[in-house]
Structure 1
Amino acid sequence: MKVKRLSALSLVMIISLLLSLVLQGCSKTPPVSQPTEQPTSAPTEAPTPEPTEEAPTEQPVKKLEGTITISIPFGAGLPVWEAVANAYMDKNPGVKIVLDDREAGSPYTDWLGNQLAGGETAADIVLVNTVAQYYSEGKFVDYAEYLTQFNPYMGKVWMDGLEPASYRSNGPNQEIFALNIDSVQILWFYNKDIFNEVGVQPPKDWDELIEICAKLKEAGYIPLALAGDTQSFWEMTTGWLFRIYHDQYWRDLEPQVVVKEGDYNYDPERDGVWGFDITDISNDSPEKIRFNGILIAKMVRDGEIGPDSDRYREMYENFAKLIPEYVPEGFFGMNVNQAGDLFIQGEAAMKVDGAWFAAGFDKTMEDAPEKFELGYFWSPPMKGNHVAVNYARSLGGPNGFIGVINKSKEQNDLSMDFMMFYASPEGQSIRYSKMEELNQSPAGPSLVYDVTMPEKWSSIFGGMGYMGECDNNPFGAFARGFNDEQQSVREWVDLAQRYFNGELSVDEFSKKMQKVMQDAIPRWLETRGYRPDALDDPSKDPVAQ
């Protein structure tokens, strides 16, 4: 572990720890694979928060003192966060920022879990997306109180300077424990030179993808540079694909689990006016509707939905056409970086990645054995008797997941002051400037208003378009482990790898996975701070006694 003075929060550069969304690239190339039936409505922007009735009076600037420790896997982005931290300390000379550069992936999750369980930690600002089990234990500060305060680095109420998607609630009682700075999308990238040589075009559906893979393999190429180790299944590229296609198979059931009149958290102004439109890829965004997660858990427990179903089995049979036949040799032990190298070296024809890959592609090509032209396409939809829709939405949306560990009021206020600077136009401009100097790239468009992104990035991100967010689908609760409950995640990875290795039939696999999900529900209820009997009546508050 390296502990460095000067720090600032690293969000986007932590792509290896969490982000998971794949872009495709090259601003010259439009998305090639669109749904056979195009969604009828374009994605809508989240509504801007209504301005406050009275403009808040700017408070006198307080002299801040203390230390803020930011414990994040910074990686190559460390100099970027140093630049932001230096700028903050110039404004607040009584504050010292300590950058604690942690190891990414599972080691970070394990380390943070131990820090939170131990009761005391030097860390103040961390990534919270993989430690949701602590949300109900008061371990993190709720941003809600601070978002309505005046941000001195913006000159306005903080939330008025942010896209609503940056502060979506994620706590058991609608708390906001994470702040997101970028918005990302996942796509499939391909080597145009290889595709031209073999004489193939980007696929329009899954069956065409498999046909193309066969031709690429016959020509001597690895069709898809996909990683299959535990981390890749759980939180990286392979796991992304399971989330994307799970949405395609289950989206039509969303109306069954919406929050409805009589539910403890029903809001007639939102939930009472929502209408389901399966052709609208943004119809189920959190700003428009909420779903009853307790009801979904009950349906899984009672066997009404879940892996032991024709939908689930058909989806995995489709995946088995791709894995392991058309992925690299040694797939189950391969990590994301190793798979990515195969694509850059020209040995593999396709890869799955996020928008940041396209934005940084020119820099990537400087070290490539042979330069090639990059293309991209959206996830080709699967075909079958049990698909819910004939399009596959992207894995995307808000990215960052930066949280503040709950300590004293004074320390919380200090950490949040830094976050106000970081998530301001000035803080993000410093971040972009340093990234540009280092030939790095952000994960996607900014969720902070009034931030000017360099044209070389905005032209790429803007040209890619938008294909929705598969994680809006509440049935993603059982796309991997049950709501990412960690024991069930580990069991899913093990069983899925055994299925693709031919050790389990699809029937054996799906039935075992149903039991994994059902066994995980009591543990999930406990980690969320819900009553053990919460499933008896999903309309009631699962926390209240």
Structure 2
Amino acid sequence: MKSQNSFGEKHSRREFLELLGAGTAVSMLASCEGANKPTTQLKTSNELSGQLVVSIVGNNIDKNTQQALTNAYRQHRPNVQVIWEIPNATGADYPTWLGTQLASGSIRPDIVSGNYVPTFRNYVNFDAYRKMTNPLTHSSWDQTLNWDFFIQRNGQGARIMLPTRSVHIMWFYNKDLFARANVMPPTNWSEFVAVCAKLKGAGITPLSINFSYQLPQWVTEIYFDQYHIDWIDKVRAQPGDWNYDPALDGTFKLDPHDPNIHLKYTYNQQRFLRGVRDGVLRFDTPAVAEIIKNLSQIFPKYATSDLFVTTDTYTPFLQQKTAMTIDGTWNLPSLQNDLQSLSPDRLKELKIPAGSVKPFAWGSFENPPMQGSLINSPVRSVESASGEYLSIVKKNQQQVNLTVDFLMFWTSKPGYQPFNDTYAKNSSYSPGGPLQVRDVQDPVKYQQLFSKVKQTGNAEASYNGEWLSWQGGNIQRDVQNLYKQALQGRISPQNFGTALQKYVTDNFDDILKQYQLTNTDLDNPARQPGS
């Protein structure tokens, strides 16, 4: 999972109301005040007609799987034509493909994976439809799909993507190599350093990790969270803010030990950026210096020599060239399948020769917590989303209604069970994590694998990833280059914090443009940006 979770879409209040229609808009605004009833209901039976185009990321969704869902849906909607146009694009190529589609004068796809191009302004905000009754299941949408395991909004509060599976990031380790070095899985950061040293002393490369998203994203989010959980009170919505939710924020109390604390408040990006601008939230601190000092004890010292250029960290682990790698729940089925047998197609995909993989015993362990007086929270993980990433391109309201109807069916048992059952017969089927479509079952072997996953809370939330990303582009490149220099020992941990603070201060106007916000937006958190 190379996750893109900092959305940049803008919706004005007027656009929002026009999208919903007057009646639905009133219901949606009421739901923000704590209402808990379905907002509306779609048409039934033959009243819906037309066509819709599905173009999500995922070029391994085979024709039989597509047809299984289409056939199930057309039993209820015989006058709707579902067209599957899945691009032959990887996750790395899909953003370019989707960006081209969305920039055209007449956009063809209706359902896309919008998290890959989050700055597009005309996705449907799913919050308007959460409590809508599905006429085929007679349940509200959030009763057929778990909406709460992963909540990610853009800076303007819109929810533009729904996923179907959850992900948990953890460390995978080779039990045979650990036994050779006489080490056990670490339970804290000091033990982690010691395990790496013993592995290297035994002639074993301790770990494979990349500098694309694993080290500068997952790892830094996890440990920034341990040191900065108190930032929540500076970045959460306050009474009078445009996105303040009395039902949620009015009862919030900061409990650093609550693993799901980031689900229990509304993040106000304007307050975060104002805190950075005004020097209330800083990076030239002992906490940031300690994070960098600890990380540099392991990275790049105990990683493969290609850490800063590689993207493939799975294959070295599979071939027993490294003893550990950090990855997601999708590795559970991948490792089980790959260690049993590798087809010619799979060998080609992994770019390795036949006979280069030998069976070994493996296991997993959670992210080892850092310890010390500056820590103010237990360690969490990255618990994000996988499966199908589903967004709707906002066209006319009739087309939106049609697409919502189909998506509600897909993400309910009558739609997802035949979809998943057929998909499971494909040799490329390898689910990324536990299913979040209610009452739908994976094949037994995958249920058993995912039953071992321990949820520890999500650190990939709110502000934890911002300090090394800032919405990407040249700014991300520059700050991650500082991070690289600090890990390599070319600048000290203290000087890293000082340099990062100076860079953010000197380039704050450009950073603000990255978020499509202005200083006026920051000074007025009561006003929704773009309104």
TM-score when normalising by structure 1: 0.80
Q: Are the aligned partners of 1:223 and 1:350 in contact in 2 as well (CA < 8 Å)?
A: yes
Deviations 1:93-143 (A, max 9, x none): 651413232433443323433443454433332222243333xx3x21222
The one of 165, 170, 188 equivalent to 1:187 is 170
CA distance in 1, matches of 2:64, 2:322: 32
- The structural deviation recorded for 1:224 is 0.7
Q: Percent identity?
A: 26
Q: Map residues 320-335 of structure 1 onto 2, 5 A cutoff.
A: 320-335=296-311
Residue number in structure 2 paired with 1:492? 479
Q: Are the aligned partners of 1:71 and 1:124 in contact in 2 as well (CA < 8 Å)?
A: no
CA distance in 2, matches of 1:80, 1:326: 45
Closer, same or farther: CA 332–84 of 1 in aligned 2, 3 Å? farther
The answer to whether 1:123 aligns with 2:109 is yes
The one of 47, 51, 66 equivalent to 1:66 is 51
CA distance in 2, matches of 1:53, 1:407: 23
CA distance in 1, matches of 2:516, 2:67: 39
The answer to whether 1:364 aligns with 2:338 is yes
The answer to whether 1:471 aligns with 2:460 is yes
Kindly provide the amino acid, as one letter, of the partner of residue 404 in structure 1: I
CA distance in 2, matches of 1:133, 1:487: 17
Kindly provide the amino acid, as one letter, of the partner of residue 511 in structure 1: T
CA distance in 2, matches of 1:306, 1:117: 38
Kindly provide the amino acid, as one letter, of the partner of residue 456 in structure 2: M
- The structural deviation recorded for 1:425 is 1.0
CA distance in 1, matches of 2:4, 2:61: 15
CA RMSD of aligned residues (A): 3.1
Residue number in structure 2 paired with 1:252? 230
CA distance in 1, matches of 2:396, 2:284: 47
CA distance in 2, matches of 1:372, 1:462: 22
CA distance in 2, matches of 1:153, 1:221: 56
Residue number in structure 1 paired with 2:66? 82
Kindly provide the amino acid, as one letter, of the partner of residue 162 in structure 1: L
Deviations 1:136-180 (A, max 9, x none): x3x212223443433244333323322232684614443221112
CA distance in 1, matches of 2:295, 2:173: 19
CA distance in 2, matches of 1:420, 1:70: 17
Kindly provide the amino acid, as one letter, of the partner of residue 124 in structure 1: D
Kindly provide the amino acid, as one letter, of the partner of residue 357 in structure 1: N
Kindly provide the amino acid, as one letter, of the partner of residue 107 in structure 2: T
Residue number in structure 1 paired with 2:12? none
The farther-off stretch of 266-275 and 344-353 is 266-275
Q: Which runs of 5+ in 2 are unaligned?
A: 6-33, 343-355
Q: Are the aligned partners of 2:276 and 2:282 in contact in 1 as well (CA < 8 Å)?
A: yes
Residue number in structure 1 paired with 2:412? 424
State the SS of the aligned residue for 2:162.
coil
- The structural deviation recorded for 1:468 is 0.7
Kindly provide the amino acid, as one letter, of the partner of residue 327 in structure 2: D
State the SS of the aligned residue for 1:352.
strand
The answer to whether 1:543 aligns with 2:529 is yes
Q: Are the aligned partners of 2:249 and 2:266 in contact in 1 as well (CA < 8 Å)?
A: yes
Residue number in structure 1 paired with 2:87? 101
Q: Map residues 283-294 of structure 1 onto 2, 5 A cutoff.
A: 283-285=261-263, 288-294=264-270
Deviations 1:199-218 (A, max 9, x none): 10000111111111111112
Q: Map residues 158-173 of structure 1 onto 2, 5 A cutoff.
A: 158-165=141-148, 168=151, 170-173=153-156
CA distance in 1, matches of 2:224, 2:465: 10
CA distance in 2, matches of 1:119, 1:506: 49
State the SS of the aligned residue for 1:465.
coil
The answer to whether 1:274 aligns with 2:252 is yes
The one of 358, 379, 391 equivalent to 1:392 is 379
CA distance in 2, matches of 1:543, 1:247: 27
Closer, same or farther: CA 480–57 of 1 in aligned 2, 3 Å? closer
CA distance in 2, matches of 1:263, 1:16: 32
Q: Are the aligned partners of 1:170 and 1:177 in contact in 2 as well (CA < 8 Å)?
A: yes
State the SS of the aligned residue for 2:449.
helix
Deviations 1:466-520 (A, max 9, x none): 1111124x331534212x3444222233332333344444344333322444466
TM-score when normalising by structure 2: 0.82
Closer, same or farther: CA 94–542 of 1 in aligned 2, 3 Å? closer
Closer, same or farther: CA 150–260 of 1 in aligned 2, 3 Å? closer
Closer, same or farther: CA 282–491 of 1 in aligned 2, 3 Å? same
- The structural deviation recorded for 1:407 is 2.1
CA distance in 2, matches of 1:543, 1:52: 28
CA distance in 1, matches of 2:240, 2:271: 13
The farther-off stretch of 85-94 and 404-413 is 85-94
Closer, same or farther: CA 300–127 of 1 in aligned 2, 3 Å? same
CA distance in 2, matches of 1:520, 1:97: 46
| Alignment length (residue pairs) | 486
Residue number in structure 1 paired with 2:440? 451
The answer to whether 1:240 aligns with 2:218 is yes
Kindly provide the amino acid, as one letter, of the partner of residue 335 in structure 1: T
Closer, same or farther: CA 97–89 of 1 in aligned 2, 3 Å? farther
Deviations 1:1-48 (A, max 9, x none): xxxxxxxxxxxxxx46769xxxxxxxxxxxxxxxxxxxxxxxxxxxxx
The one of 172, 178, 196 equivalent to 1:213 is 196
- The structural deviation recorded for 1:56 is 5.8
State the SS of the aligned residue for 2:391.
strand
Residue number in structure 2 paired with 1:33? none
CA distance in 2, matches of 1:118, 1:55: 32
Residue number in structure 2 paired with 1:533? 520
State the SS of the aligned residue for 2:422.
helix
Residue number in structure 2 paired with 1:112? 98
